[in-house]
Chains A and B, each alone.
Chain A
Amino acid sequence: KQEVTQIPAALSVPEGENLVLNCSFTDSAIYNLQWFRQDPGKGLTSLLLIQSSQREQTSGRLNASLDKSSGRSTLYIAASQPGDSATYLCAVAPITSGTYKYIFGTGTRLKVLA
């Protein structure tokens, strides 16, 4: 059974720091991996999606990497800003016959201090 773990559970950093969020998953048979952002009491916003054949994706100050063989992904945020404060969720889409769904981690709650 696929399990997704995110470390750390919470992180507080001063503005301007570069930071790395970690995601690990137990089964490497996945279609893709996606990083989401969730603001308090709100829905999820997709940040980056990495297909299983890809190694990384970049969008602005965000860079996500995928190492399927080791079951790991990292989300790198450069020059963090207070507006980056949110919960970051990692989700994997396992390859299972006849279904298509994401398995989510519990998230990393990030606070960037001004």
Chain B
Amino acid sequence: ETGVTQTPRHLVMGMTNKKSLKCEQHLGHNAMYWYKQSAKKPLELMFVYNFKEQTENNSVPSRFSPECPNSSHLFLHLHTLQPEDSALYLCASSHSPGQGSIDTQYFGPGTRLTVL
């Protein structure tokens, strides 16, 4: 257990569905991240939140909508997804970056998403 939990662990949805992924961290971190891991591709950073403010959107399509109500919770709202969005979605958290440094990130187990 890394202190980062994700629900659900598996999700199958149709292209017209709306669903949400949830991430919660119990580590007292202030930065949270969403990553996408597709087969045979490197892990791709999607979004970064620092103290509840979005600081990075890595050109992610608008059908993915993140929400960070507080430093412990992060959501990824999904709507009208495409089959190519099927992947493992990983959440991570860390201490907020200091001056000239980046802290290690702690990852959740991921949500395996299948879009039919």
Q: How large is the interface on A (under 10, 10 to 19, 20 to 34, 35 or more residues)?
A: 20 to 34
Cβ–Cβ < 8 Å partners of A104 in chain B = 42-43
Q: How large is the interface on B (under 10, 10 to 19, 20 to 34, 35 or more residues)?
A: 20 to 34
Known contacts: A99-B55, A104-B43, A106-B42. The answer to whether A43 contacts B107 by CB under 8 A is yes
A37 CB to nearest B CB, Å: 11
Candidates A41, A44, A93, A99; contact of B112 at CB < 8 Å: A41
Cβ–Cβ < 8 Å partners of B43 in chain A = 44, 89, 91, 102, 104
Candidates B42, B55, B97; contact of A4 at CB < 8 Å: B42
Query: CB distance B102 to A44 under 8 Å?
Result: no
Per DSSP, chain A at the interface is strand
Q: Mark B79-116, 1 if CB is under 8 A from A, else 0.
A: 00000000010101000010011101111111010000
Which of B4, B42, B110 has its CB near the most chain A CB atoms (within 10 A)? B42
Interface residues of A (CB under 8 A from B): 4, 31-32, 34, 36, 41-46, 49, 51, 89, 91, 93, 98-107
